[in-house]
Amino acid sequence: MAATEDAPPGVDLSQVVKIPTPLPWSDEFKINVYLIEANPLTLIDCGIRGEKPIETIERAFAERGRRIEDIEQIVITHAHFDHYGSGAELVRRSGARVFAHPIERVHMEHFPSGSDGYRDSAEHYFRLWGVDEALIEGFFRREQLMPMLREDMGVDVNVEDGDRVKIEGFNLEAIHVPGHCQGHLCYLNRARGILFSGDHLLPNISPVPLLALGTDPSAEKPKSFIQFLASLEKIERFPARIALP
């Protein structure tokens, strides 16, 4: 569906197509993928891994006379499985170049496991905080579901704060907004005042600053909530007229 129905007066969303992709456990919530119809053809985020999200993207493309194979760039806001889980399949079919923050790249290319120090760090903090052993084990059992929800995918271009993603007539400026996760990026088209906000700004529910445990128990843990508040103040300074989460 075209995103123009959401536009305030004077904001041109004619080249932006919103594609709400499904989650396997919820009929209510969708993960928005955005197609930018410009050169190169660009997709922002990918949805969770699975046949239904891919089919949803295929249908939206077909309605515009396009195919998944036409995608040239995939721009990732952050490396949570519901935002990049289908990315590897889209890249296999299209050969698209992938853009992401280097912190998120690590998680996209190889999901954290015990060998990365991720489990050691998490167990250290959980026990420090007195978390029940059964809850700790349940947390790590949940991690075993990750291969069903996401797939390792390569990143071609590291994107950091202030970098530009070049799109003809629709350049995007990257804004680093840690809090929800450490490498979260929003992307702003200044000329039109369009902000692709990922999970940093959300409608109807509160955006969530998430615990960042890292992979080294001896290192100082990021203060996600403080980061998130600072990122809200930061994003307010940019000339956005509409946020597309």
Phi and psi angles of residue 218, each rounded to the nearest 5 degrees, phi first:
-85, -15
Res. 114: pLDDT tops 70: no
Task: Specify the number of domains making up the chain.
Answer: 1
| Confidence band, pLDDT 50/70/90 cuts, at residue 222 | confident
User: CA dist 85 to 111, 149, 225, Å?
Assistant: 11, 6, 25
CA-based nearest residue to 208, from 194, 187, 229, 222: 229
Contacts of 164 (CB under 8 A, 6+ apart): 171, 172, 173, 174
Q: Which residue has the higher pLDDT, 82 or 139?
A: 82
Domain that holds residue 80: 3-244
Residues 197-220 pLDDT 10s: 999 998 887 778 877 776 666 777
Res. 67: pLDDT tops 80: yes
Domain of residue 230, CATH code: 3.60.15.10
